[in-house]
Amino acid sequence: MTARVFVPRDSAARSVGADEVAERIAAVAAARGIEVDLVRTGSRGMLWLEPLVEVETPQGRVGYGPVEPERVDGLIGEGMLDGTASGLGPVDELDWLRRQQRLTFARVGVVDPRSADDFERHGGMAGLRAALAMGPEAVVEAVVDSGLRGRGGAGFPAGIKWRTVAGAEADVKFVCCNADEGDSGTYADRMLMEGDPFTLLEGMAIAAYATGATEGFVYLRSEYPDAVVAMEAAIDAARARGWLGEHVLGSDLSFDVQVRVGAGAYICGEETAMLESLEGKRGQVRAKPPIPALEGLFGRPTVVNNVITLASVPWVLAHGAQAYAEHGVGRSRGTSVFQLAGNVKQGGIVETGFGVTLGELVEGFGGGTASGRPVRAVQVGGPLGAYLPVSRFDVAVGYEEMAAVGAMVGHGGVVVFDDTVDMSRMARFAMEFCAEESCGKCTPCRIGSVRGVEVIDKIRAGEDRDANLALLDDLCELMADGSLCAMGGLTPMPVRSAVEHFGEDFR
């Protein structure tokens, strides 16, 4: 009997030795005359268990992890390849996964991302098939009804955006997937693209069908070479299957996708800067209006959505808007893909319905800090997200709920800090990050971020603290209300939240 073994090829797993583990398994099995069918999957998103090796058994896939390469011999000797060695037990039964609602990430870590067959066997293409059967208008309405909002951070209802693009007259329309995942501590886009790239293509095809677009681009950051390879391989396979190109699945839909690799500027994650970059120009923010839905790429109506947004669409279409909307809280429907990082014991992907509390994420899923010291602050939503103290762990995470406490969901990054953190340094870092990544177009961001660093330095040095804190507050107001885009507009969020919740670090 052939042993079916799953080892992630996700770059997070590879960074801790997954490739060596896979090689070692193959070598040891061969030496022992055991036939092995080694499948390279994405990651299940339990980063503290990587490399996580799974073995197919009649009881389902059982897990071993973390498996260091040097433990492979021993584990095989103990019977890992038939699932008899002691380990994590059935992976699907792990509490950490069972407590999640994996809709968008249902196949990530499960399927072989290089295999269109595997994708289809696990329910792939059901969304696009359903969409093609219902007609473009109904698709738009389903996405509207699902309550799906932009997962890149802005939270704009995807269906409304699609409706605008669908209603615009033009010779050509585009679907642009923003995969310029630049927030520190976030990796959901990458994991999805590496672990289940076909889902993203399916979502883009559905968007194209709904809006009348014919060309798609995945704008991928250059720091994600494995994701580029995965997407390009998936595009080739999808074309071969008739999932892209002329007459997708035999329908009237003609749609193709290309990958474009960015040049490493954080600002290109801002949608209009991304469009400029896609047009071959300097990645600089455009003033809106015109909105990209009407005048986007090359001035044509363009759907710009984040990876997770687009990858959530197939589930919505396959299972119905209602089923999706059943998850969530308030006006935040469906699931959110959180990424636990920083000083956290159990980091990884937590896909769960909106409404989960911060405490549950940090303590429940994360298990507290990796250092074992008390949690002091959590930054939610990337480097421009707010720092929240433990006293706010009761907040149910949703777009409006977070806004009410001066924070945001952003792209779902959750970075944990213990009690050794100096929050004035973190505030400075926010300004420094903005100064580093500002495109330089608007004044508040271009000059303001540099002055912000300098003012915080003066505060930290004890120079005219009160006056400089007042100046910092005015600067934050100016950047928040006066900046052209969210880069400068959100930078004050970590700064102000640090001052507000951790004022003692500024005294």
Owner of token pair 């583990």:
21
Q: To the nearest whole angstrom, how small is the minimum distance from the Cβ of residue 461 to other proteins?
A: 12
Q: For residue 216, list its beta bridge partners.
A: 175, 257
Among 239, 451, 460, 465, binds other proteins (CB under 8 A): 451
Return all residues near 310 (Cβ < 8 A) that are at least 6 apart. 175, 177, 200, 203, 204, 207
> Is residue 394 a contact residue for other proteins (CB under 8 A)?
no
> Is residue 373 a contact residue for other proteins (CB under 8 A)?
no
> Is residue 72 a contact residue for other proteins (CB under 8 A)?
no
Please count the other Cβ atoms lying within 10 Å of the Cβ belonging to residue 223.
Answer: 15
Among 37, 117, 419, 436, binds other proteins (CB under 8 A): 436
Q: How far apart are CA 329 and CA 314, in angstroms?
A: 21
Q: How far apart are CA 142 and CA 411, in angstroms?
A: 23
Q: Give the binding range for other proteins (CB under 8 A) out of 52-60, 81-89, 186-194, 477-485.
A: 477-485
Is residue 214 within 8 A of residue 255, CB to CB? The reply is: yes
Site string for other proteins, 269-308 (x = CB under 8 A): -------------x-x--xxx-------------------
Is residue 426 within 8 A of residue 458, CB to CB? The reply is: no
Q: Rounded to the nearest 10 degrees, how much is the dihedral formed by the CA atoms of 229, 234, 236, 241?
A: 170
Closest CA to 451 of 467, 424, 428: 428
> Is residue 437 a contact residue for other proteins (CB under 8 A)?
yes
> Is residue 444 a contact residue for other proteins (CB under 8 A)?
yes
Q: What is the 3-state secondary structure of 239-295?
A: HHHCCCECCHHHCCCCEEEEEEECCCCHHHHCHHHHHHHHCCCCCCCCCCCCCCCCC
Q: Can you say how many angstroms the Cα of residue 318 is from the centroid of all Cα atoms in its chain?
A: 21
> Is residue 467 a contact residue for other proteins (CB under 8 A)?
yes
Among 141, 346, 482, 500, binds other proteins (CB under 8 A): 482
> Is residue 455 a contact residue for other proteins (CB under 8 A)?
yes
Is residue 103 within 8 A of residue 334, CB to CB? The reply is: yes
Q: How far apart are CA 455 and CA 492, in angstroms?
A: 13
Q: How many residues bind other proteins (CB under 8 A)?
A: 37
Q: Which lies closer to other proteins via its Cβ, residue 338 or residue 506?
A: 506
> Is residue 441 a contact residue for other proteins (CB under 8 A)?
yes
Q: How far apart are CA 220 and CA 212, in angstroms?
A: 23
Q: To the nearest whole angstrom, how small is the minimum distance from the Cβ of residue 448 to other proteins?
A: 6
Closest CA to 172 of 240, 247, 256: 256
Q: What is the 3-state secondary structure of 292-306?
A: CCCCCHHHCCEEEEE
Q: How far apart are CA 205 and CA 129, in angstroms?
A: 10
Q: Which lies closer to other proteins via its Cβ, residue 239 or residue 451?
A: 451
Among 103, 475, 493, 498, binds other proteins (CB under 8 A): 475
Q: Coil, strand or helix: which one is 66?
A: coil
Q: To the nearest whole angstrom, how small is the minimum distance from the Cβ of residue 451 to other proteins?
A: 5
Site for other proteins in 86-115 (CB under 8 A): none
Q: To the nearest whole angstrom, how small is the minimum distance from the Cβ of residue 412 to other proteins?
A: 24
Q: How far apart are CA 246 and CA 238, in angstroms?
A: 12
Q: To the nearest whole angstrom, how small is the minimum distance from the Cβ of residue 51 to other proteins?
A: 38
Q: Which lies closer to other proteins via its Cβ, residue 164 or residue 443?
A: 443
> Is residue 265 a contact residue for other proteins (CB under 8 A)?
yes
> Is residue 168 a contact residue for other proteins (CB under 8 A)?
no
Q: For residue 500, what are its two tokens?
A: 């507000």
Among 21, 267, 341, 416, binds other proteins (CB under 8 A): 267
Q: Which lies closer to other proteins via its Cβ, residue 188 or residue 442?
A: 442
Site string for other proteins, 208-247 (x = CB under 8 A): ----------------------------------------
- Pick left, alpha or beta for residue 437 (phi over 0 → left; psi -120 to 50 → alpha; otherwise beta): alpha
Q: What are phi and psi of 114, to 5 degrees?
A: -90, -5
> Is residue 439 a contact residue for other proteins (CB under 8 A)?
yes
Q: For residue 253, list its beta bridge partners.
A: none
Q: How far apart are CA 313 and CA 93, in angstroms?
A: 26
> Is residue 435 a contact residue for other proteins (CB under 8 A)?
yes
Q: Give the binding range for other proteins (CB under 8 A) out of 303-311, 328-336, 392-400, 430-438.
A: 430-438
Q: Which lies closer to other proteins via its Cβ, residue 426 or residue 445?
A: 445
> Is residue 154 a contact residue for other proteins (CB under 8 A)?
no
Q: To the nearest whole angstrom, how small is the minimum distance from the Cβ of residue 484 to other proteins?
A: 6
Q: Which lies closer to other proteins via its Cβ, residue 194 or residue 276?
A: 276
Give the C-alpha distances (Å, rounded to integers) separating 192 from 104, 130, 237, 242, 245: 9, 22, 17, 22, 23
Among 447, 460, 465, 500, binds other proteins (CB under 8 A): 447
Site string for other proteins, 321-360 (x = CB under 8 A): ----------------------------------------
> Is residue 478 a contact residue for other proteins (CB under 8 A)?
yes
Site string for other proteins, 483-502 (x = CB under 8 A): xx------------------
Binding site for other proteins (CB under 8 A): 265, 267, 282, 284, 287-289, 435-451, 453-455, 467, 471, 474-475, 477-478, 481-484
